[in-house]
Structure 1
Amino acid sequence: MEWAFVTFGIGVLAATVVLGGLLATLAVEDFRFWPPGDDDAKLRVYLVCSRGAFLSVLATGILDWNAGPLPWPGQVAGAVLFVASLAVLSKAAADLGEEETKGRAGELRTGGLYRYSRNPQNTGYLLFVWGFALLTNSPLVAGLAGAMTLWLVVQVPVEEPWLHEQYGEAYADYRRRTPRFVGYRGRGLNGDGSGDGD
């Protein structure tokens, strides 16, 4: 159990660094942590921390397996979500491409899963952490999932101005017709399909 707290602490630290960088991007003019663009140092920090957080989820789940009160049907539901997340993440990464996945400029991708969600990778990661929390029945993994949910949700509005800057009106059109995470793109706040009716 002691090692589970170590891996949990590493995960919280890594998620806090990413969330701090994202919040700094929102708060400080002329600073951008994400997307890093061509800034290799910021990309390395993001990759080390994000991968560290996800590895911490896996390690903590193994070390803290079945420490919670969840009955077995919840664990089965978690297994289904976890497996589904792997499929979503694989497809979304293939649809977006390697450079764009790293937050570098490329071409605007609107096909595949990106037809249904502007952020299928974030959606897949949310399924991953919460599915694994249920599967492992680990309160510590649930805590990590909560911390990572903050970063994965905050990341979206942080990167949208950069996407608009890179892709202009093509991104604005895509944003109007495609939901932020998942779901039906309804009439929007303005009643005509426009507006940020996410």
Structure 2
Amino acid sequence: MNEIIFTVSSIAAILLIFISVASLLKSSFVFFPPPSKESWQYRLFWLLFRVMIIGLAVLSFTSYNDTPVFSYSVRFFIWLPLFILGFGLASYISLKLGWANAHGEAKGLVVSGWYKWSRNPIYVFSLFAMLGLGLFINSTYVYILLGLWAVMYIVAPFIEEKWLEKTYGQEFLSYKARVPRFFGIPSKT
């Protein structure tokens, strides 16, 4: 059963990556942020994302520790806190940004708080959380699905920047010139 869940979840993740990269390479093709909540892009994105996440959640329980690389104590005291802190901060920043703004509705360009240090702090903290979750669960299936999810979160900012430039124009371009894409010291420009 794990093989079926893994296969379906992997296909969903690979389709998300493929469609996202296609939208990055072809400027006339829009996938994310979707044009509207009623669009096929919105429905397809959330369907594929949910299939991947549900599969990941199920496999996190059913294949727990199938690849015993790290001892339980190392996993519990090092990687579990990384997971909790990473997803905790990603969730907190998402709430501060607002659901609509985080999903492609133009509700104002946020440049304060964590966004002073990174144009994509939600993705950055989510990547740390994925690392923590993978090493805590210690499963080949989970490692692969988290790797695919991480690829999505590394590609996503490049796709979203086209939309941000179109939506916010010079305001975003000035912000983009000052603040690193993922993490770093903002420039004084």
Give 1:26's aligned residue. 24
Aligned-pair RMSD on alpha carbons? 1.8
Deviates more, 1:163-172 or 1:44-53: 44-53
Give 1:110's aligned residue. 111
8 Å contact 1:164–1:171 — kept in the other structure? yes
Q: Which runs of 5+ in 1 are unaligned?
A: 187-192
Could you tell me which amino acid in structure 1 is paired with residue 58 of structure 2? A
Give 1:55's aligned residue. 54
8 Å contact 2:116–2:186 — kept in the other structure? no
Q: Provide TM-score, normalisation by structure 2.
A: 0.89
Determine helix, strand or coil for the equivalent of 2:134.
helix
**For 1:112 and 1:51, how far apart are their aligned partners in 2?**
29
Q: Provide TM-score, normalisation by structure 1.
A: 0.85
Could you tell me which amino acid in structure 1 is paired with residue 92 of structure 2? K
**For 1:53 and 1:179, how far apart are their aligned partners in 2?**
29
Q: How does 1:59-70 map to 2 (within 5 A)?
A: 59-70=58-69
**For 2:155 and 2:131, how far apart are their aligned partners in 1?**
17
Give 1:184's aligned residue. 185
Deviation at 1:28, TM superposition (A): 2.3
**For 1:69 and 1:148, how far apart are their aligned partners in 2?**
22
Deviation at 1:83, TM superposition (A): 0.2
Count of aligned positions:
186
8 Å contact 1:36–1:42 — kept in the other structure? yes
> Compared with structure 1, are the counterparts of its residues 30 and 39 closer, same or farther at alpha carbon in structure 2 (3 Å cutoff)?
farther
8 Å contact 1:113–1:120 — kept in the other structure? yes
**For 1:124 and 1:49, how far apart are their aligned partners in 2?**
22
Deviation at 1:39, TM superposition (A): 5.4
Determine helix, strand or coil for the equivalent of 1:152.
helix
8 Å contact 1:22–1:158 — kept in the other structure? yes
**For 1:4 and 1:125, how far apart are their aligned partners in 2?**
25
Q: How does 1:10-21 map to 2 (within 5 A)?
A: 10-21=8-19
4+ long deviations beyond 3 Å: none
